Amino acid sequence: MHPAASVIAFTTLSGLGYGLAFVLALGHGNPAATSTKIAWFLALTLISIGLLCSTLHLGNPQRAWRAFSQWRSSWLSREGVMAVLTFIPLTLLAAMSIFGDSFNLALGYVGGIMAAVTVYCTAKIYNSLRTIPQWHSGWTIATYLGFSLSSGTLAYVGLFRKPLEEGRTDVWTIVALGILIAAWVFKFMWVQNAASVGYGKSTMESATGLGHIGKVRLLERPHAMGNYLTNEMAFRVARRHMNLLWKICVLLGLVLPAVCLALALAAPAALTFFSFVALITHMLGLLVERWLFFATARHAVGLYYGGDAALVPAE
């Protein structure tokens, strides 16, 4: 699938924003502290930027309001509706902290659950597509929720936790490390499934219905040049770069943040520095992760264009 920059930015930034809002909504952070006020503002800003990014890939963004209408059947519509509804408790909570130095736990639970449901809806947009077996897996949902929470907790620790005295252990650093590892376990499970699932049950034989005669091979494409379908659904990537990108993704997204968090635990005085670096590398890793999520996905329509033979350009 074509990895659109706007969709990558949308899913990673709004994921980070909802993750941070989730942590804050569960009552963490002193509502009277300036750092908590900034954290609320940042969470809402990231969510807003992410949602605005998501409209950039639309052919007619001026009609985007229509996307709120079909929540009965469409996960994309549900995602839009939930995103708007979730602004209500989150904005109230942010306003309570920023202007009233106060917090309401009941409202916090509502906001936290709604933030999680919104991320769930985002993941369901991809998970619900039968045409893309790599996405049509429960691990897609687990990964989206996991990385939203891992980036949110890293932002909370990296930006808004005060350095501690020597000898004290910061519980939040341990929590962030645990969530980071859990999210990556989900991702590794996703990758394991994605590596073997291919085009699912569909083959060039089932796509053409010619399997009863024998093995099917594409002789000629409909047109000599590419088209919307080949650009969007049979996205060509040099598969030899995939392994390298995946290594970079794991290094930036998992190894470096985990090392930084371990260092932050060992040297509590430098907690802010190390956990901030952990956040930055984690987010860079997630950009690569999201790029690969799209770029490596095989869509059933690729079978009409020669299957994997069409995905790898002749080199």
Q: Residue holding tokens 């394991």?
A: 192
Amino acid at 294: F
**Residue (19 or 80) nearer to another protein, CB:** 80
Structure tokens at 87: 């602004």
Distance in angstroms (rounded) separating the CA atoms of residues 207 and 205: 5
Residues 111-130 that bind another protein (CB under 8 A): 125, 128-130
Please list, in sequence order, all residues whose beta carbon lies within 8 angstroms of the beta carbon of residue 123, skipping any fewer than 6 positions away. 140, 141, 143, 144, 145
Interface segment toward another protein; rule CB under 8 A; list 27-35, 152-160, 163-171, 224-232: 224-232
Which of 38, 49, 76, 265 forms a contact with another protein (CB under 8 A)?
A: 76
Which of 85, 96, 207, 255 forms a contact with another protein (CB under 8 A)?
A: 207
CA nearest 76: which of 133, 135, 118?
118
CA nearest 118: which of 101, 141, 139?
141
**Residue (59 or 167) nearer to another protein, CB:** 59
Which of 34, 69, 91, 192 forms a contact with another protein (CB under 8 A)?
A: 69
Which of 116, 264, 299, 311 forms a contact with another protein (CB under 8 A)?
A: 299
Q: Does 6 bind another protein (CB under 8 A)?
A: no
Q: How many residues does the chain have?
A: 315
Tally of CA atoms within 13 A in the half-sphere of 197 that contains its CB? 21
Q: Does 222 bind another protein (CB under 8 A)?
A: yes
Interface segment toward another protein; rule CB under 8 A; list 22-30, 38-46, 63-71, 249-257: 63-71
Read off φ and ψ for residue 33, nearest 5 degrees: -75, 145
Structure tokens at 216: 């099917």
Pattern 254-293, binding to another protein, x per CB under 8 A? ----------------------------------------
Distance in angstroms (rounded) separating the CA atoms of residues 150 and 156: 10
* Contacting positions for another protein (CB under 8 A): 1, 57-61, 63-64, 66-70, 72-77, 80, 125, 128-132, 200-202, 204, 206-210, 212-223, 225-229, 232-233, 299-301, 304-305
